[in-house]
Amino acid sequence: MVSVSVENIKKSYNKTRALRGVSFEVSQGELFGIIGADGAGKSTIFRILTTLILPDSGRAAVEGYDVVSEYVKIREIVGYMPGRFSLYQDLSVEENLKFFATLFNTSVNENYDMIKDIYSYLKPFKSRKAGALSGGMKQKLALCCALIHRPKVLFLDEPTTGVDPVSRKDFWAMLKRLKEEGIAILVSTPYMDEAALCDRIALIDGGMFLRTDTPENIVKNFRREIISVSSSDMHSLLKDLRTIDQAQNCYSFGETHHVIFSEGVNYCDLSQIADYLSQRGHNDIEIKRIEPTIEDCYMLLEGGRHLNKYDK
């Protein structure tokens, strides 16, 4: 069953076009990830779907309710966790939770099973002020507060930004369990490695969806030659890689640089590239043929827009 449907939504803030026609659907019990860099338009989608702002054009519905005309209904059935920590820092963990339970006309006891797993982490700190919690704990508390009324749809806007890797892992494990309750979950993240944990993902850039598919299919449809290169001088290496004729995208990826070749390049000669680079004075050259990741797909699809922006 379709839980969230979005049809050609557009939204501008003054002259900035935040969303330039976005469409997608999310089913019940599906974990849908919106992956993109900062400023790509992720939060705008969340705010439109949670009825906080109005779209300029297009239609969107949550559980069949229109986001413009039936916003009151939507506010009763969704759980929303904004990108910024938005609980009361001067209230304790328990007080925050109780407050959000009454906000939705329910009580902590009534829906305790919903948050039991997550709350078990927080219980030892229940009388601590929310402002004094660690980043990971804050996110867990925010998730509890967003879940306490058994929402049908959960909107999580960058829930793992600024959270340590262990807590991030915990967090995704929790989402997996929630999904099994039949809740539709929309989650946005700038971390490409988290994309693989979603059922389906949308890659967003400049207010447009580049592709919407399962993570596997997105990788499968990459169909390009991609290599990873490293040498002793990584900085000039990137510049030199860009001088290679058929290199379409070159960008640093962790400790190496990735090079995506133009369409039609099937099986490039690695030793030829190594020679070329050593001619340009590089030592300790290591070149590997690799399997693409979601991030590589993103880089290819957004066409190096960011790179060009930063390099110039």
Partner 1 sequence: MRQFASFVRKEFCHILRDKRTLLILLVMPVIQIILFGFAISTDIRNIKIAILDSSQDNVTSYLIRQFEANKYFSVEKLVTSQREIDELFRQNKIDMVVVFENNFSRNIVHDGKASVQLIADGSNPNTATMAVNYASSIFMDYQLKIAQNMNGAASVSQFAAESTTSDIGGTTSVAAVTSSGTVTIIPTVKMLYNPQMKAAYNFVPGVMGLILMLICTMMTSIAIVREKEHGTMEVLLVSPVKPLSIIISKTIPYLVISFINLITIILLAVFVLGVPVSGSMSWLLAISTLFIFVSLSMGMLISTLVKTQAAAMLTSGLVMMMPGMLLSGLMFPVENMPWILQFVSIFVPARWYISAVKTIMIEGSGIAFAAKEVYILLAMAAVFITASLKRFKNRLE
Residue numbers of the site for partner 1 (CB under 8 A)?
47, 50-54, 71-72, 75-76, 78, 80-82, 84-91, 95, 98-100, 102-105, 145
Find the shortest distance in angstroms from Cβ 105 to partner 1: 7
- Can you state the angle between helices 165-180 and 135-147, rounded to 10 degrees? 10
Find the shortest distance in angstroms from Cβ 141 to partner 1: 12
Find the shortest distance in angstroms from Cβ 30 to partner 1: 20
Nearer to partner 1, 6 or 299 (CB): 6
Q: What is the 3-state secondary structure (H, E, C) of 141-165?
A: HHHHHHHCCCCCEEEEECCCCCCCH
Q: Which residues contact 171 (CB under 8 A, 6 or more apart)?
A: 136, 139, 140, 143, 159, 160, 163
Q: Which residues contact 243 (CB under 8 A, 6 or more apart)?
A: none
d(CA 187, CA 197): 11
**What tokens does 185 get?**
């979950």
Nearer to partner 1, 48 or 203 (CB): 48
Determine if residue 85 is left, alpha or beta; phi over 0 gives left, psi from -120 to 50 gives alpha, anything else beta. beta
Find the shortest distance in angstroms from Cβ 231 to partner 1: 45
Find the shortest distance in angstroms from Cβ 83 to partner 1: 8
Find the shortest distance in angstroms from Cβ 7 to partner 1: 20
Nearer to partner 1, 1 or 72 (CB): 72
Nearer to partner 1, 90 or 164 (CB): 90
Amino acid sitting at position 249: N
Find the shortest distance in angstroms from Cβ 78 to partner 1: 6
Amino acid sitting at position 22: V
Find the shortest distance in angstroms from Cβ 53 to partner 1: 5
| CA 116 to each of CA 143, 180, 229, 271: distance values in angstroms, whole numbers, following the listed order | 12, 15, 47, 57
Nearer to partner 1, 88 or 276 (CB): 88
Find the shortest distance in angstroms from Cβ 104 to partner 1: 6
Nearer to partner 1, 130 or 299 (CB): 130
| CA 65 to each of CA 44, 69, 279: distance values in angstroms, whole numbers, following the listed order | 19, 8, 64
Nearer to partner 1, 96 or 293 (CB): 96
Q: Which residues contact 5 (CB under 8 A, 6 or more apart)?
A: 24, 25, 26, 60, 61
Q: Which residues contact 213 (CB under 8 A, 6 or more apart)?
A: 200, 201, 221
Nearer to partner 1, 100 or 222 (CB): 100
Nearer to partner 1, 66 or 199 (CB): 66
In the chain, DSSP assigns E strands to 2-13, 16-27, 31-35, 57-62, 65-66, 78-81, 153-157, 184-189, 200-205, 208-213, 226-230, 247-253, 256-261, 286-289
